[in-house]
Structure 1
Amino acid sequence: MARALYEQRLLFEWGGTLLVRHIEELPFTLRRMWAADYHDRRARFERSHRHLMRSVLEEIERRGPLSSRDLPLGTKVSSYRARRDTGVALYYLWLRGDLMIHSRIRGERRYDLIARLVSKRLRVAAPEDEARRHNFRSSVRAFGLPNLSELGLALKTAGSTPGKASELRAWIARE
């Protein structure tokens, strides 16, 4: 799998649960990447660390693939994702799609600019409706025909959030 992920670039890793997806799925995933923000944590971090986010991107642009250990020491933080703010910045830059995991050394992620790792064709987001349909169908293929509760979760995962059962049924009928 490491060869398919880091040498052939047939797969990519993304998400808080670290999903491994085929690289052709990237255009359908980009909008979710751009919007990914659990309880507004990313937005709060980005607002309070604008300079750091920019500095980390510039450092990777200048030096190539880096891990959090390769970056100048940052400020200690209390975070599940990293011990220092530079590590949290790397995580959020990856989560929002600016970076991809270039490789791993003894499990440690090395990040690089998505533009250096993926062709331009794959870095163009699919139209929102098309991406939503594609992601929903992928969820159904992966997990089988859902019950109403699972359907709501599949739609949320696909980037759509009709809340009531009647809205879910109407959405299915349209699709």
Structure 2
Amino acid sequence: MPETISKEVARQLVLGRQGLWPGRRWQGRDGVEQAIKTSQLVQVDTISVVARNHDLALWSRVLDYREEWLNYWLYQERRFFEYGRVLMIYPLDEWPYWRTVMQRKNLWSRLDKHELPELVEMVRAKVAEAGPMASRDFKDRNRVSGGFNTVKDTSHALDHLWITGEFMVHSRRGFDRVYDLTEKLHPGEHAPEALPSDAATDAFLMDKVLRELSLATPAALSRRGVIMLRRALTPTECAGFLARLEQEGKAFKVKIEGLKDPYYYPAEAAPQLDALLKGQIPAGWEPLETDTRQEVNLLAPLDNVLWDRLRLKSLFDYDYMWEVYKPQPIRRWGYYTMPVLYGDKLVARLDPKLDRKSGRLTLQGFWLDDESLADDAVFGQALAAGLARFARFHRAIQVDTEVVSYPVLQGLLQDELK
């Protein structure tokens, strides 16, 4: 096993195992299933300035992605489920481990301990009798604190039953969650006597985090892992876990040039890393069409690769922050800024907005992180190709790139997008 690897190889390993490099390698409805399983999870978000985060994340991985393909796997075949305060899509075959997590003192329940259990029982009974229900189906209810303002008391009860595993998301109405009993959607999956132990659950989820990250320090593992384990998780504990995996031959340690701390990668990534060190594309990674040198990819703001700012800065030398909750005067970039992937580097960022009525896609901001690309016609063509695909996905009939202030890039964009 290698003792040291370059940052370039590290980036390729991380991006490639997330399905983002060297290009889109999945296609069609089945490709969506493969993409989610390989990526380990996809974060869901409600904001729809352009497509929502989860759809953007899958669009960047699946050739000619369509939103209905995700809905098929979530709500028809039910191979995946939505869960968590940080709302993620996970494979259903992981459900037993998540049921163990859900039992941990109901830490994420929004119900106050003083609220009457009769409210929860009433909501449970109503859904059991009437079938799938959304919050809007409960009329004339008391309003209590919650969300960004107030919500109905029954919304808290629905949330409690979902976060503790008695309910699952049956479907979406608009983008509102519609809930049903877990025992109806997945008979047998609700039985608590079949749950894995806390230790087995922690081991499974920590391994899952390592497979998602592909390269992780103990600190990075703890930052990501705390979301899934729903308990305090220190770098020291993660260091012990990674050391045990290394002793068992399930993970390997490697240094990355220019970085102080050692990183760990899962044993399943060893053949892929070996191929990359030889300058080869690992088996199964061949792009179906263009690669990211021929056509840039635009990454969803909450993409798995971007989530940990500290790791992103270390491996990609790229400083990124999602600024949707920042007041406009103090934003450094834009409201819905998306990083631009070119080759294995993040070289720029742009802030798109879609007017669905007119079909107009507008770039509200564009920033080059690598200024040497300002006069690079090859990059300009790749940028134009990536924006053209982005526009087609959004069914945009006009693309406004006036904000791009670099003459060479602007000329190429106008030629491609006119």
- Higher helix proportion (structure 1 or 2): 1
Which bin holds the TM-score, normalised by the shorter protein? Answer: 0.7 to 0.9
Question: What is the CA–CA distance in structure 2 between the aligned matches of 1:91 and 1:121, rounded to whole Å?
Answer: 19
Q: Conserved in 1, the CA contact under 8 Å of 2:143 and 2:152?
A: yes
Tell me which structure has the larger Cα radius of gyration: 2
TM-score normalised per structure 2:
0.38
Q: Conserved in 2, the CA contact under 8 Å of 1:46 and 1:53?
A: no
**Match of 1:125?**
195
Secondary structure in structure 1 of the residue aligned to 2:205: helix
Unaligned runs of 5+ in 2: 1-69, 246-418
Question: What is the CA–CA distance in structure 1 between the aligned matches of 2:184 and 2:120, rounded to whole Å?
Answer: 18
80, 100, 112: which one pairs with 2:168? 100
Give CA-to-partner distance per residue, 1:42-77, whole Å, 9 cap, x none: 3x5254131111110011111111111112432112
Structure 1 residues 97, 68: closer, same or farther in 2, change over 3 A?
Answer: same
Question: Map of 1:94-173 to 2, 5 A cutoff?
Answer: 94-121=162-189, 123=191, 124-159=194-229, 161=232, 163=234, 165=236, 167-173=237-243
> Which deviates more from structure 2 when the two are superposed, residues 74-83 or residues 1-10?
74-83
**Match of 1:9?**
78
Which residue type is aligned with residue 95 of structure 1? I
Unaligned runs of 5+ in 1: none
Structure 1 residues 155, 21: closer, same or farther in 2, change over 3 A?
Answer: closer
Question: What is the CA–CA distance in structure 2 between the aligned matches of 1:151 and 1:76, rounded to whole Å?
Answer: 39
121, 135, 138: which one pairs with 1:68? 135
**Match of 1:54?**
121
Q: Conserved in 2, the CA contact under 8 Å of 1:100 and 1:114?
A: yes
1:29 aligns with 2:104: no
How many corresponding residue pairs?
A: 171
Secondary structure in structure 2 of the residue aligned to 1:83: strand
79, 90, 106: which one pairs with 2:146? 79
Following superposition, which runs of at least 4 residues in structure 1 exceed 6 angstroms of deviation? none
Question: What is the CA–CA distance in structure 2 between the aligned matches of 1:57 and 1:34, rounded to whole Å?
Answer: 18
- Higher strand proportion (structure 1 or 2): 2
Q: Conserved in 1, the CA contact under 8 Å of 2:218 and 2:242?
A: no
Question: What is the CA–CA distance in structure 2 between the aligned matches of 1:83 and 1:162, rounded to whole Å?
Answer: 32
